[in-house]
Amino acid sequence: MTEANNQRFSAEAAAWDSNSDHVHTCDEAVQSIMHHVPAFTEGKAKDLDVLEIGCGTGLVSFKLAPHVRSLVGVDTADGMIDAFNAKVAALPKPETANLAAVNVLVQDADDVHVQGAAAALATRRGESGHDVPYRFDLVVSHLTLHHLPWLSVVLGILMQTLRPAGRIALTDYEDFGSEAIRFHPATKREGVESHGIKRGDIEAMIKRAGFENVKVETAYTFSKKVEAEGKLPETTMDFPFLICLGQKPS
């Protein structure tokens, strides 16, 4: 599955940002995250160290980074990481960037690459000492949960990556029934673990992982052109996107 994802997303990486659907849904996700995570509305977001799962080329990351202290993105597709790094290198002052991406599969809260990237950003902003292992205040993810097997295990790892009272704000499209499969054309279904996320299931999983203040809400609705399939014609369908929220106990 991971290799299928790596090949597909690496192949798509170079053109990813020129797809207006990608840009639009990422903008909506950022708006929703900033609306639901209190630090943004309370003017405290500059204190946040953020971990992003499935950062891709950084469409969410580069929008969030100016508002927070630091952002480390992880992704398993080499092409996506290369595109992210090219965007960092193209910044006016790349040596002062507060974001970085590493090719990591989410399976260890203390992953050496994540730890290294977070520590390098801390050093860059002049911090002499920092948590060891490094921990985050907020974990975000957009359009990636549906690629992850063992979501309940992943949620447990996310809990470990957080500081006390840290939060998750994860967005992805909802599995609202059998029609949700049409989000991906048949040619892109390999490596898709589930056709969206089920509201009740994810809420129960987040609670079981030990998070408090759990809420799963519709964040926005995304109208997407879907391909003809069998007897079904090409059409435009509305896909609800969920934001999944929770807080680590303090």
Ligand X SMILES: C[S@@+](CC[C@H](N)C(=O)[O-])C[C@H]1O[C@@H](n2cnc3c(N)ncnc32)[C@H](O)[C@@H]1O
Residues of this chain that bind ligand X (CB under 6 A): 2, 5, 9, 22, 26, 53-56, 59-60, 74-77, 80, 105-106, 142-144, 147-148
- Closer CB to ligand X, residue 80 or residue 244? 80
Helix axes 2-16, 78-89, angle to 10 degrees: 30
- Closer CB to ligand X, residue 125 or residue 189? 189
Query: Could you tell me the smallest distance in angstroms from the CB atom of residue 12 to ligand X?
Result: 8
Query: Could you tell me the smallest distance in angstroms from the CB atom of residue 43 to ligand X?
Result: 26
Edge-to-edge strand order for the sheet containing 136-142? Answer: 99-103, 70-75, 49-53, 136-142, 162-173, 235-247, 212-226
Query: Could you tell me the smallest distance in angstroms from the CB atom of residue 124 to ligand X?
Result: 24
- Closer CB to ligand X, residue 2 or residue 123? 2
- Closer CB to ligand X, residue 124 or residue 194? 194
CA dihedral 184, 188, 191, 192 (to 10 degrees): 0
For the chain, helix (H) and strand (E) counts, in that order, are 8, 7
Query: Could you tell me the smallest distance in angstroms from the CB atom of residue 232 to ligand X?
Result: 23
**8 A C-beta contact, residue 122 and residue 70:** yes
- Closer CB to ligand X, residue 33 or residue 106? 106
Query: Could you tell me the smallest distance in angstroms from the CB atom of residue 108 to ligand X?
Result: 12
Query: Could you tell me the smallest distance in angstroms from the CB atom of residue 210 to ligand X?
Result: 21
Alpha-helical segments (H) within the chain: 2-16, 20-36, 38-41, 61-64, 78-89, 112-124, 151-161, 199-208
- Closer CB to ligand X, residue 55 or residue 244? 55
| DSSP structure string for 138-182 | EEEEES-GGG-SSHHHHHHHHHHHEEEEEEEEEEEEB--SGGGGG
162-173/235-247 β-pairing: antiparallel
Closest Cα partner for 243 from 95, 82, 60?
60
Residue 167 β-bridge partners? 138, 247
Query: Could you tell me the smallest distance in angstroms from the CB atom of residue 150 to ligand X?
Result: 10
- Closer CB to ligand X, residue 80 or residue 138? 80
In the complex, which residue's CB is closest to ligand X?
56
